[in-house]
A and B are shown apart, each in its own frame.
Chain A
Amino acid sequence: MLKIYTDTDTDINPALAAEYGYTLISMPYSVDAKTTYPYVDFETFDGHAFYDMLRGGVLPTTSAISKEQYINYFQEDFKSGNDILYVHFSRAMTNTFDVMDQAIAELKTQYPATRFEEIDTKGITTISYAIVREVGDLVKAGKTLDEVLEWAKTEVDKFAMYFFADDLKFFRRSGRVSGLAATMGTLIGVRPLIHMSQAGKMESIGTVKGRPNAMKALVDKVAELGDEIGKHRICIGHTDAPEIAQEVGRMIEDRFGKQNIEYVYVNPTAGSHCGPNGVGVCFHAIHR
């Protein structure tokens, strides 16, 4: 039997996870030395309250979970001999999966017959959300593990994600965006346009002046790279900027007609690296 896993960094909430049968691994963040595990320490994510806290100057940190925690998550299915597929956020953005590798190696010595596979979404938050949902759809439709893995080989790189944030200090501190290191401080009104690269990293591809232009730049990217967008969800993620996200959605529909658009609150762990008032679009593309 195939058991599927994902983590809270992919923006999937428990209700959606249950709908697909995903086991949700909680990725923590800390504020003032207090560590919070999403959907373990709270039931519903109050995005507005969380990002307001960031607006007030709080800079949360994120941390990797321990080997024991991974073992706890996977042990039962290893023991039962189920096939395991973990659709996770980008390996290139974290060292948490090195810890997981140790846990898996240990479990494999104990239960050598169990098959453990991964799909690296090469992204985090909205782009991972889109891929996790597509994988969920495939599993729901009865695709086998190998068929899903085959799909992922070509399709993961066809999910593109472009976004902007208001305040660079979160990215700067997290050090997870390349191309930003050369700019200084907080650039009020001048926003970097960032995308998820093929390598699964955040990469700044230039700056845009003014929010209206930044929003237009996102829509332009959909026009430039979009591929069969009508057949896939367009996911618009935001860090407590629902109105801007919806305006971007309207702009997309004005240009490409009615679409299947989903609006997603960026999870607090990923949001800790982006800061508030950011908006990004994930769409099916010819390439990232």
Chain B
Amino acid sequence: MNLDSELYLNLIRGGAASLAQRRQEINDLNVFPIPDGDTGDNMYMTIEAGTHASGNTLGEMADSVSQGMLLGARGNSGVILSRIFAGMGKAFKGLKQADSKQFNAAMKAAVEEAYHAVSQPVEGTILTVLREGVAAAEGSAGMEEFFDLWIAGMDLSLQHTPDLLDVLKKAGVVDSGGAGLLCIAEGMRDALHGDVLSVMPSEASASPAPKVDFSAFTEDSVLEFGYCTEFLLRLQRSKVDLDTFDESVIHDWLETRGDSLVFFRDGSIVKVHVHTMDPGAVLTKCREWGEFLTIKVENMTLQHHENHMDERFKRTGKALGIVTVASGKGLTATFQEMGADAVIEGGQTMNPSVERFLEAFDNVGAETILVFPNNSNIILTARQAADIYDKSKIVVIPTHTLGEGYYAMANLQTDLPLEEITQTLEEAAKAVTTGSVSKAIRDTAEARTGEFIGFSGKDVLCCCPERPAAVQSLAQKLSAQNSDIIILLQGADAPADEASQLQNDLQNTYKNTEVILIDGGQPVYDYILVLC
């Protein structure tokens, strides 16, 4: 059996459908007993973004899948997943279809590409599972055999991930990214056998609906950005001749009515994304060719507002711009006050996609843009966005926590040469210790459900039944007496009077340190301690 364009897309869809069914299981493979970067959701949203691809040849299809995933990639595992398919895309370039040998070669290319995606590959992760799986399938006679051996190899490798990574062993789980990949591979194998799960949840159900602030567009607002208009149009036999219809007619007409056009046809379905001032005209016109399956129209002023853009910074030609990632009103406001031109909503439980970064870069429009991802699981996404963006020079400062991002930004001196700025910021970020306190959502060896755990990086440092005691204990474990400033970021679930009392108590304990309380309003972490 040869792999052609249609089969390839089916494999992707099969993989996505399989992951959709089991993504909660993957989400639950958390190292920490707190709501964490949801690997299952991230990987699903990434692969789902590849399922809308189109292309006549295998090469075109694989490229389209790769492009889709590139833009949809979320979280580290999502970015790596997108690189796996990018590697295959590169290997299939120019091919109408691929035989078993070419498929084998493409999988090897996928491994290489995935390893290249991370600067310091860690074994015991999705990378190991992929590599060992592909190695196990090497030399297989056909695609069916390849998938059987690949899956068996990955399964075996996955079981060994706790031997390679201590954090997994401690938490008693296998690597979630590897598990997600195995799940995708199983779905692909089912698709290869013609057995595709028909139900694939929409993106909307995968992520909570964003809160839209309608006050951003008032009775007196002027429509500046138009409407983001997306729809799936089913071409109708009663309106067009499906066999001979050239969809470029629709494409060309849409180009006269808007911009940011994304357009492709898959069988009788046409997918359209366009920014237009007059969605009514677009919809009316498109009904000349078919009927709508779905329609989504959003006022882009609200979308822009949601992106926390500060209108003051919308001017172009600014020399240096700043894009940062944060969740919580207080933190967003703090970062804006510090000079961030765009604050992308995101964090531990909601990793923004590459596309979100690209939008933010576009909106900031500065010659050079410094990016502070503020989460280990977002750094790769930011770097991927930086790699594909060519309108500005993008420099990602690899800040792993909100605290690192905060303190690095506080040290920004814009009049230095860029290399010096980057060096200063990276050094500043490294000088920070961040600790967090969260409520345990399941029992572990260290904590019972409902208790408050204090941790820094991947180390659980303390556990207390009371929240303030957990913060005090965490501060002690992190040797807060050696820092000059303690910034206490109060989370959404921490009451104001408790936070204020805690600030006083910490100030009394650490007299030679300045304790600063900021109402961060961040989710998940009741308190974040930033020691600098």
Interface residues, chain A, with chain B CB atoms under 8 Å away = 181-190, 209-213
Contacts and interface: CB of A to CB of B under 8 A. Distances in A.
B410 interface: yes
B415 A209 contact: no
- Residue of A181, A184, A212 with most chain B CB atoms under a 10 A cut-off: A184
Contacts of A184: 322, 338-339, 409, 412, 414
B412 A189 contact: no
Contacts of A187: 338, 410
B338 A185 contact: yes
A209 B532 contact: yes
A188 B339 contact: no
Nearest to B483: A210
Contact of A212 (B339, B412, B414, B512): B512
B485 interface: yes
Given A210-B513, A212-B512, A212-B514, A188 B413 contact: no
Which DSSP category, helix, strand, loop or mixed, fits chain A's interface?
Answer: loop
Contacts, number: 52
B173 interface: no
Contacts of B334: 188
Nearest to A213: B484
B504 interface: no
Contacts of A190: 410-411, 485
Interface residues of B, number: 24
A187 B487 CA distance: 12
Contacts of A212: 484, 511-514
A94 B197 CA distance: 75
- Residue of A182, A183, A186, A210 with most chain B CB atoms under a 10 A cut-off: A210
A190 B322 CA distance: 19
A210 B485 contact: yes
Contacts of A181: 415
Contact of A210 (B409, B411, B416, B484): B484
B224 interface: no
A254 B211 CA distance: 56
Interface string B501-519: 0000000000111101010
Contacts of B339: 184-185
Contact of A189 (B322, B410, B414): B410
Nearest to B411: A190
Given A188-B516, A189-B514, 19 more contacts: A181-B415, A182-B414, A184-B322, A184-B338, A184-B409, A184-B414, A185-B337, A185-B409, A186-B337, A187-B338, A187-B410, A188-B334, A188-B487, A189-B485, A189-B516, A190-B411, A190-B485, A209-B484, A212-B512
A124 B386 CA distance: 48
A209 B485 CA distance: 7
A275 to B, nearest CB: 14
B518 A188 contact: yes
Nearest to B414: A182
Given A184-B409, A212-B512, A212-B513, A189 B337 contact: no
Interface string B411-435: 1111110000000000000000000
Contact of A182 (B410, B415, B484): B415
